Structure 1
Amino acid sequence: MEQIRKWIAENPTIYSIVIYVLLAICVLILIQLLRRFLRKQVTDTTARYKSQKGIEIIGYIVLIFLTVSYFTGNIRDFTLAVGLFTAGIAITLQELVLSIAGSLYIFIVKVYQPGDRIEINGIKGDVIDVDSIYTTMMEIGQWVSSDNYSGRIVKLSNAFVFKGPVYNYSKDFPFIWDEFNLPFTYNSDIELAKSIVIKIASHVLSEFTAKSKSQWKAVVNKYYIEDALLDPTLAISLTDNWIEFNLRYIVDYKKRRATKHVLFNEIHKEVKQSNGKVSLASTTLELVKIPEIKIDMNNS
């Protein structure tokens, strides 16, 4: 025992570092134990996720205060230590500091949160986790058409919130505008075609239109933005081959592909039941005149 006290007296710096490391390990172990306890006890997914993140953040704060209080004895030393520590971190770990700052910015400003669909740094997907350094996303698109999952999980540095635009599909207004074109022949009953398209669009999209109208009012009140038409709209243009209908409508951001399928299917059924009064057009080639070919057999 006397030898240990003697060694501590001769090596106070090493002893302090060892004690600090042991305390830090105890804090980290406690954090993991609490996270495991919450994972087993809390059944609700959202509450479990938020509680685990809260324990993680509190643990980091405790570690910071433990470090500062352990290695500094007064306010003067505290400010000096913080200044030196900050300068060193800013120089050597710029990207890490920017990522941590990005996570605080995401949390405070609520740029996005788990469950949101976003596009950032050219990557589109659903946010499944946000920690102190990375945003984890389930990727959408790439080699898969429309808004379907590709199956890849992407980890993206939180620093990217400062480096470019962040497109959020679901915050404040979880609806998007979509459109598609329908070609009708010039022989079609255009008024009947218009009534078919508008009737089907109004029926299929009625739920989205009603919900979007109530939420759009909140968006208009919150932001400096003009009011918009949320009902399905139809624009007609003439081309060389057909009359083109452009249907524009609003839809839930997660149901864009499925809704377009239903619209196409229902419109096609109605067109087939019109007894030829309305018909969809396709690209055709019309031969006006076949050139005459003369063969002189006498010169052969």
Structure 2
Amino acid sequence: MTWTTLVFETPFVTRLLSTLVLIGIILGVRSMLLRRLASRQDVDATTRRRWIVTTRNTVFLIILGIVVVIWLEQLRAVAATVVVIAAAIVVATKEFLLNIIGYFHQRSAKFVTVGDRIEVDGIRGDVIDLDLLGMTLMEIGSGEKTNQYTGLTIYVPNAKMLSATVKNETRLWGDYVFHLVTIPVEGLQGWEASEQALLQAANKVCAPYLEKAQESMTSLSQHHSLEAPSVNPRVNVQMAATDKINLILRMPVPTRHRGRLEQEVTRHYLKILTDMQQSNAMPDGLGKA
């Protein structure tokens, strides 16, 4: 019997080689899949990124399962020892285990996925990556009324999914969401003119995509067994003080364009007010914040 035969007939070496070969094959297939997905130009970047993350995490779980199956006998042999030190391991790796539990919790709940805009524990941003330990966010400026990227990326541990409130701004309505714009108006004379100016500005900005927004929200409402909302811009009037009114505009916007469209509406509104004042169609000072 040669030394090579002796080595390859050793159970430990056989399992080790089997593990390495299978992992190598799986990683090779994974690499080809990721390259193929990255080169797909017939789908948008967010969808491609979601597929890539899902493929990567699925391959990791497959490899983990293969290792457990191949080395199951060895794991049983050391089970008694593992039980003795299990308590110490759990204490030492508490955060690590919570992150993994948080990952499977959010995957089973399907509440967060790549491309969603979320807020968790006061941190707001777009999800660009997910793994077993946490998620990577492209941060959006602090505060719900800020819709500008800060240029920072933040890694949020999955354990936060178990203990913190998570807001998902894009999950329910998909490509379109409702956005609120608050316009303060001083004085009580002629506020109706400001309301009409705000509605006129909103209708002008929303007109190019209003029909698509209605179709999208109607379809998703049926999917979730909800009443389909009206997407037409509307204004609610709120008394902020005895001599001050807040006009609260609700308008549909594409998920990624809240800040830009809010700016467009505000600028159109101010221009309409200026034109009305110049034509003496409304009292001076109306619409002044």
Return closer, same or farther for 1:7/1:85 CA change in 2, 3 Å cut-off. farther
Instruction: Give the share of equivalent positions with the same residue, in percent.
Output: 18
2:57 and 2:214 map into 1 onto residues whose CA distance is: 39
Does the 8 Å contact 1:209/1:250 carry over to 2? no
2:228 and 2:262 map into 1 onto residues whose CA distance is: 25
Report which structure shows greater RCO (CA 8 Å, sep ≥6): 2
Return closer, same or farther for 1:227/1:54 CA change in 2, 3 Å cut-off. closer
SS in 1 for 2:159: helix
Unpaired runs of at least 5, structure 1: 284-300
RMSD value over aligned CA atoms?
Answer: 4.1
- Return the offset for 1:117: 0.6
Unpaired runs of at least 5, structure 2: none
2:242 and 2:60 map into 1 onto residues whose CA distance is: 69
Aligned position for 1:287: none
2:57 and 2:240 map into 1 onto residues whose CA distance is: 61
For the pair 1:277 / 2:281, whether they are aligned, the reply is yes
Deviation string for 1:206-254 (max 9, x for gaps)? 456545544555665566878766541231648565x534132133342
Deviation string for 1:56-110 (max 9, x for gaps)? 5234334433334334189xx59x68x9599566444222222222222222221
Return closer, same or farther for 1:164/1:208 CA change in 2, 3 Å cut-off. farther
Return closer, same or farther for 1:151/1:25 CA change in 2, 3 Å cut-off. farther
Aligned position for 1:249: 250
Does the 8 Å contact 2:34/2:52 carry over to 1? no
Deviation string for 1:123-153 (max 9, x for gaps)? 111011111222111111149x811111111
For the pair 1:36 / 2:31, whether they are aligned, the reply is yes
Return closer, same or farther for 1:86/1:28 CA change in 2, 3 Å cut-off. farther
Q: How does 1:137-156 map to 2 (within 5 A)?
A: 137-142=137-142, 146-156=146-156
Return closer, same or farther for 1:85/1:250 CA change in 2, 3 Å cut-off. farther
Q: In terms of Rg, which structure is larger?
A: 1
1:238 and 1:40 map into 2 onto residues whose CA distance is: 56
- Return the offset for 1:195: 2.7
Question: TM-score with structure 1 length normalisation?
Answer: 0.71
Q: Among 267, 270, 278, which residue is 2:269 paired with?
A: 267
SS in 2 for 1:173: coil
1:6 and 1:229 map into 2 onto residues whose CA distance is: 76
1:67 and 1:3 map into 2 onto residues whose CA distance is: 29
Question: TM-score with structure 2 length normalisation?
Answer: 0.73
Return closer, same or farther for 1:20/1:159 CA change in 2, 3 Å cut-off. farther
Does the 8 Å contact 2:179/2:258 carry over to 1? no
SS in 2 for 1:39: helix
SS in 2 for 1:146: coil
Q: How does 1:155-170 map to 2 (within 5 A)?
A: 155-170=155-170
Return closer, same or farther for 1:56/1:185 CA change in 2, 3 Å cut-off. closer
Return closer, same or farther for 1:4/1:213 CA change in 2, 3 Å cut-off. closer
Amino acid at match of 1:201: A
Amino acid at match of 2:146: S
1:99 and 1:194 map into 2 onto residues whose CA distance is: 49
Amino acid at match of 1:261: Q
